[in-house]
Amino acid sequence: MAQRGERGAQARILAWLRNLGDALGRPVLAVALAIIAGAIVILITWPDKALDPFSNIFSAYGALLTGSFGTPISISNTLVRVSPLIFATLSVAIAFRAGLFNIGAAGQMAVGAMAADIVGLTYIHWPGWLLVPAMVIASIVAGALWGGIVGFLKAWRGAHEVVTTIMLNWIAFWGTDYLIDGPPFTAPLGVNQTNPLPPQATIPLVADVWNKTLGSFLPKLDTFSYTVDVSILVALLCIVIYWFITSRTTFGYEVRVIGQNPKAAKYAGIPIKRNILFVMLIAGAFAGLGGALRLMGQFSYQLTATAASTDPTGFDAIAASLLGRTSPLGILFSSLLFGGLRSGSTNMQVVAHVDPNLVLILEGLIIYFMAADFIPVFRRLLPPWLRPRRRPALVVPPDAPIASAVNGDADEEVQYSAIAERQKEI
Amino acid sequence: MFFQVLFQGLTSSNTWQVTLEFAALLLLPALGGVISERSGVVNIAMEGMMLTGAFASVMVTLAANNFGLSSAICVLFGLLAAIVAGGLMALLHAYFSIQFKTDQIVSGVAINIIALGLTSYLLFEIVPVGVPSLPDRLRLPVPPLGPLANIPFLGTVLFQQNVIFYITLLLLFGVQFLLFRTNIGLRIRAVGEHPQAADTAGVNVRLLRYLCVVSSGLLSGLGGAYLALGVAGLFNPNMTNGRGFIALAAVIFGKYTPLGAAGACLIFGLGIALSYALQGLGSTANVINLLNTLPYIFTLVALVGLVGRTTPPAADGIPYDPASD
């Protein structure tokens, strides 16, 4: 009897382990492989000649870690990077759920930030309680519009979302540069920046809020060191909203069906076109809001020309959303990872003389390792009890067609890339 | 004022020279894109391949120069390095999307990111301060065409171009001929439209796709060399700055044909050249930023079907699986 119970418990633990392995195996493996590949890059280039190449690897990764999560201040700096990244990742992830590959988060952020900036600089005399919500709403509307164009073109005209998002990104980059560089918003000295937002149009730092509330009887925080603003809290709230939309609403369910099996969705009478439009509206809204809050939360409160096109957040968001496999917790942790890599990379450069662009290499590799079918190779290497179970074939086999044509024929059936199916499978 | 400058710009031979220069610059990766997409592999990584090519060309040219080789040999090595580097990036794309059946768009995004990261990283490791720039003797030459170059308007526009321009022209007609007038072109198009049928007819689908994707990398790498060794004479991090994406736009706008892509590149090139001409406008020079959006707006309009719809090859983006029906 006792033995049986033990065996039951053992089976349960093993099952639990397997589930955990299923969920975490691939992301952990992808990150590990990328770190190893990055180490090889450091080993070959050997940037810090004062150390031997192997110590250089450890000094680089050590600096990366301490620079991102080593001290409270570095954690705060990391959160500054994480907050817009969460918004962008949510934008990419919710589109993934519908099988759409939204690489337009960068453009949607740029448009959102610009809209907020226009409102903030135009209605400069409005009080904060009116101005801040107006800016936030403007950014949400602008971002949603930018994403909505993609959804509309996809659903009604069959234009492939990857192509349209690339085009809209560059239209957004150059278009916002036009607005930033010219009157009436540009700063007087011709520095390719807009005027700073009026003080009442900004959102407070977390440290400020702390000092005014709990700080009155607890130790106060130094607002010069802890520069993370309250947008991180909004970001966390948005993750909850994302969770609610995707797992607790009919819309979320329908979107998932569309992403995993468009044909089934069609036969089930799910309004595919409308849902695709909505999902891209929401995606754009997330990104637009993120862009605006970054503008409103961080010092100088200005937009700089060409900053949008060189901002890596859009790239990071794709990687983070693939790595987090579009689950709310996954998004949170992978955003923390990539935000940490970004903010730690400057320390890595100072301490170990490794160029921060190493992070981009790691990111690209992680995307590859998440998307490519390495798992069968590694599965064979694992001991049998650790091998992930094969899931029942509700989803397509790994070698089924993945991306649809670049732009399908709208009059026929709307074509969907099966990335979400892929997501499920991996 | 605005229209005066615009008119001046349109009538100046310089504008048209720049137009053709940029058209050729965009056309090289665009031709690569046409070949790749025709064979059924989506390629949004021309940007990354161009960037890698540009980087390799400058670095190898400078390295060869340090060895004391003669200028012409240095440039030749640089050119070869660019082509090889672009080809290697394309091989990565081909390997993952054909062998591993990775999503081709994901792979393209990853290549763009890796190319940006790798070139910026290596640039910093090799040249910690400043940007590597090339003296004139290490740049791609403008071939002396003698009396032709002295023809009043056409001479400047057509016959004072960089040597790569003429190569691009040859490649354009070469690729058009290859795709639509030869046996192998028919096979490439068949593989892109219906790989199963092509396979049944004895065409090696995977091999052909490999070749097409790699040649798209070779062409994009050459485009990068043209940019770095010819037009700019230096290497900057992220110096392609979206040109690979304009090339992608040209592929789509040109309806996946070499000549169509060339027409699109001409339009986009004219936009860029005009934006230079309009820089003389001073305070309204900002209009350049707006002009820069035009290629993308054109492409969106073309995608939406207002000026005749573009249709990609039927099997574009779908990995070939002999087992599927």
pLDDT tens, A229-244? 999 999 999 999 999 9
C-alpha distances in angstroms, A368 versus A12, A373, B45, B114, B293? Answer: 33, 9, 14, 10, 31
CB within 8 Å: A404 and B318: yes
Residue B180, CA atoms < 13 Å, CB-side half-sphere: 11
Q: Which domain holds residue B252?
A: 2-319
- The mean pLDDT value for A361-379 works out to 77
What is the DSSP secondary structure assignment for residue B127, as one 8-state letter?
A: -
Residue B320, both tokens: 């070939």
Minimal Cβ distance to A403: which of B42, B120, B323: B42
CB within 8 Å: A360 and B125: no
B113 to chain A, minimum CA–CA distance in Å? 5
Reference A163, options B312, B22, B94; nearest CA is: B312
Chain B, nearest residue to A172 by Cα: B293
Residue B283 has pLDDT above 80, yes or no: no
Q: Please tell me whether residue B209 adopts helix, strand or coil conformation.
A: helix
Q: Which CATH architecture has domain A78-352?
A: Orthogonal Bundle (1.10)
Q: What span, in angstroms and rounded, lies between the C-alpha atoms of A123 and A133?
A: 12
Reference A329, options A23, A21, A30; nearest CA is: A23
CATH number, residue B122:
1.10.3470
Residue A1 has pLDDT above 50, yes or no: no
**The pLDDT value given to residue B299:** 78
b/e per residue A177-188 (b: at least 16 CB within 10 A): bbbbbbeebbee
Residue A381 has pLDDT above 80, yes or no: no
Residue A38, both tokens: 């990055």
Minimal Cβ distance to A360: which of B117, B287, B315: B117
B246 to chain A, minimum CA–CA distance in Å? 8
CB within 8 Å: B102 and A372: yes
A101 to chain B, minimum CA–CA distance in Å? 9
Domain total of chain B: 1
**The pLDDT value given to residue A305:** 84
Residue A175, both tokens: 């278009």
Q: Using pLDDT thresholds of 50, 70 and 90, give the confidence band for residue A424.
A: very low
- The mean pLDDT value for A388-406 works out to 44
**The pLDDT value given to residue A406:** 37
Q: What span, in angstroms and rounded, lies between the C-alpha atoms of A68 and A61?
A: 11
- The mean pLDDT value for B253-271 works out to 89
| Residue A229 main-chain phi, psi, to 5 deg | -100, 175
Residue B161 has pLDDT above 80, yes or no: yes
**The pLDDT value given to residue B205:** 92
Contact A246, A234 (CB under 8 A): no
**The pLDDT value given to residue A412:** 38
Q: Using pLDDT thresholds of 50, 70 and 90, give the confidence band for residue A420.
A: very low
Domain membership flag for residue B324: no
A321 to chain B, minimum CA–CA distance in Å? 12
CB within 8 Å: A368 and B304: no
CB within 8 Å: A322 and B113: no
Q: Using pLDDT thresholds of 50, 70 and 90, give the confidence band for residue A29.
A: confident
Residue A31, both tokens: 């990150």
Q: What span, in angstroms and rounded, lies between the C-alpha atoms of B53 and B80?
A: 9
* pLDDT, averaged across chain B: 87
CB within 8 Å: B105 and A162: yes
CB within 8 Å: B318 and A367: no
Contact B243, B41 (CB under 8 A): no
List of chain B residues whose C-beta atoms are within 8 Å of the C-beta of residue A362: 117
Domain membership flag for residue B209: yes
Domains of chain A: which residue ranges? 2-20+394-425, 78-352
**The pLDDT value given to residue A361:** 92
**The pLDDT value given to residue A421:** 45
Residue A76 has pLDDT above 80, yes or no: yes
Domain membership flag for residue B325: no
Reference A112, options A298, A368, A290, A339; nearest CA is: A290
| Residue A184 main-chain phi, psi, to 5 deg | -95, 5
Q: Using pLDDT thresholds of 50, 70 and 90, give the confidence band for residue B101.
A: confident
The H-assigned helical ranges of A182-249 are 206-212, 231-248
Contact A282, A245 (CB under 8 A): yes
Residue A94 has pLDDT above 90, yes or no: yes
B159 to chain A, minimum CA–CA distance in Å? 33
List of chain A residues whose C-beta atoms are within 8 Å of the C-beta of residue B112: 364
Non-local (6+) Cβ contacts of A159 within 8 A are A153, A407, A410, B300, B303, B304
**The pLDDT value given to residue B324:** 65
Residue A4 has pLDDT above 70, yes or no: no
CB within 8 Å: A103 and B300: no
Residue B209, both tokens: 């796709």
C-alpha distances in angstroms, A61 versus A346, B114, B214? Answer: 12, 19, 35
Domain membership flag for residue B287: yes
- The mean pLDDT value for B283-290 works out to 70
Minimal Cβ distance to A355: which of B102, B121, B321: B121
Q: Please tell me whether residue B144 adopts helix, strand or coil conformation.
A: coil
